[in-house]
Amino acid sequence: MTDEAIYKKRFLIFTAARLAGLALMGLGAAIAFSDLVRDGGFRELGALLIALGAVESVAVPILLKRAWQRG
């Protein structure tokens, strides 16, 4: 596999990790402020998912970069 192919694959994984975090944050907002789970929203669960999504959006790409630099 060429270097260019490796870097393209890593970029796609990096982007997918960030988008997954954003999707989790969006789901958390939907759960917190709509009637998806229960009437009036489920703010505690929504806040937890928003926090996890934010951490995933920031931390996972950093961890991936460190793993790729070591290997």
pTM: 0.86
Query: For residues 55 and 60, what is the distance between their CA atoms, to the nearest angstrom?
Result: 8
- Token pair listed for 33: 């402020």
| Residue 1 pLDDT class (50, 70, 90 cuts) | confident
What residues make up the domain containing 20? Answer: 10-70
Whether 61 is in a domain gets the answer yes
Whether 32 is in a domain gets the answer yes
Whether 2 is in a domain gets the answer no
Whether 5 is in a domain gets the answer no
Number of domains, the chain: 1
pLDDT in tens, 5-33: 999 999 999 999 999 999 999 999 999 99
Alpha helices in the chain (DSSP H): 3-33, 43-70
Whether 3 is in a domain gets the answer no
Question: Which three-class secondary structure state does DSSP give residue 5?
Answer: helix
Whether 1 is in a domain gets the answer no
